Structure 1
Amino acid sequence: HENLGHQGRWTLAVYLINKGVAYEKILQIFSNFPDYDERVASYQIKHAVERGYTVPSCGMLLSYGLCVADCKIGNPLRWKQWKKKKK
């Protein structure tokens, strides 16, 4: 497995939290990273939950180098709605 940088992990955690994925499941997903540290991952996930972070816009994700598409959905949380509209 390839490592994600901090920004990528934070974005993934916040996305999963906003999609309603349980803390334990997110921790399990993160355990697949080669440099996984349960203490660090647990702290970061809990911190994101407590702070109520939302997923960055697609523009921000593009600027971070975390998105390669120019799909115009505005935010990854809207992907499912966008996909339905395209059909």
Structure 2
Amino acid sequence: MNIYVIVAAAHENAVNHLNSKFKMYRYQEIPGEDEWKFLGWKNIHFISDKIKMGNKVLTGKFIANNEILTGEPVEIELRIAKDKKKYKISEMPDK
């Protein structure tokens, strides 16, 4: 299991405020020296895949000299895009 950290989020556009890209690092255990490896800007599908594979994805803050303070765990949630009253997921039958 790997540890991934999100340290920044780039919004898709000024109107809808969806976070479409996330600046990420992966923790690497190297004999004698552990470090955070910069992975670049990743989308929600990348994050979802990492969680699905059993990895830990956390929020965090990049300090300096390759030091990151880790925060809270990240989870993926399915929700209805519009706040309407028809066919709520939480009220759907299980059959």
Structure 1 length as normaliser, TM-score?
Answer: 0.26
Question: 1 or 2 for the larger relative contact order (CA 8 Å, sep ≥6)?
Answer: 1
TM-score when scaled to structure 2?
Answer: 0.24
Higher strand proportion: 2
